[in-house]
Amino acid sequence: MARNKAVPDTEIRNLYRLIRGSREFVQDPLADIFAASCGTAGSFLSGLFCRSVQQFSTYKSHEGIPFRPEGRPKIQERWHKNKGKEFAKRLAYLMAGGKTSGNFPYAYIDDELSFRRTPGAGAPKSGQGGVDVLLCSQDAVRLPVIGEIKAASDPSTPFAGLVQALTYASELVTDSQCHRLVQAYPNRFFCAGNIPEGPRVEILLIIEQREEKNAKEIQRLDCAYSLVKTLMKEKAFSERIRSIACLSAAIPKEAAEFIEIFRFGAVQ
C-alpha cells in the first residue's frame, strides 16, 4: 500500500520499521549494540528523535479531525461485546474504568489511536493500531502520556517498545498536533500554547508481570534502563519528553496492579 505523502516519514519511524521485524536478527543485536555504548547510543537516539520532531513539524494536521474514527465504540463497549484474553485490551479496559492499584499516577483518555490519521487518499481507514493507550498525567500540568503495553507473549523487547513509543511521541509533540489533541479531548490536557518551553509528553512502558525472568529478559530490561537514564540527560530531548517510566502490570482479579521498574525525569 502506498503511504500518504501528506504525512512525513521521519528518521525514527524508519528505525521503528526496521526493528519491528525479527527479534532474533534485528531487535536483540541492536539492543546489545546500544547497551554496549549507552553514552553514544543515547546521544544518537536523542538526535534521531529531535530531528524527527522537526521533520514531522512540516505536517499540518487537520484540526477537528480525531485520532481515531468518530463513532467507534469506546473500550468499555468493545470489551463487553467481545471479551477476550488479550492482555493489552483487558488492561486498557481496566484503566478506563479506574480499576488500578499501585504506582499508577495517570488517567485513561483513549486507546488504539493513530497520530498520523489524515483524511484523503492513502489515509488509514481505521484508527486501530498505533498507540496502545493515551493517558494523562495526574498533576497540575496534565501532560499527554503515550502508553505502550507489552504482553508476556509479545516477542518485542523493551528496547523496541521504547523506540516505538518515541516514534509516536515525535508525531505528537509538535505545536500543530498538540493543538489538535486539545481539540480532540477538550479540558483534558494542558500541553499546547500554555507551556513556555513548548509541547511536552511523557512515555510509559508497561510490561506484563512474569513470576520469573530469565537472564536474557533481565539483560533487556537493564539495557532499557541504561538507555533511558542516558536519554533523559540530553537537554534537547528532555525539552520534549518530561519523563520515561517502565511499570510491570498484572491482573490477578478484576483490577490491574502496577509495580514501578524504573522512572527517569528530565534533569533540571
pTM attached to this predicted model? 0.88
Among 13-17, 193-197, 251-255, the least confident range: 193-197
Task: Output 165 or 40, whichever has higher pLDDT.
Answer: 165
| Under 8 Å between Cβ of 187 and 229 | no
Residue 165 near residue 205 (C-beta atoms within 8 A):
yes
- Residue type, position 69, single letter: P
Domain boundaries, the chain: 11-265
Residue 124's pLDDT is what?
46
Question: Which H or E run contains 76?
Answer: helix 75-81
Render pLDDT for 96-108 as a digit per residue (tens, 0 to 9): 999 999 889 999 9
Question: Which H/E stretch holds residue 260?
Answer: strand 256-265
pLDDT grade for 132, boundaries at 50, 70 and 90: very high
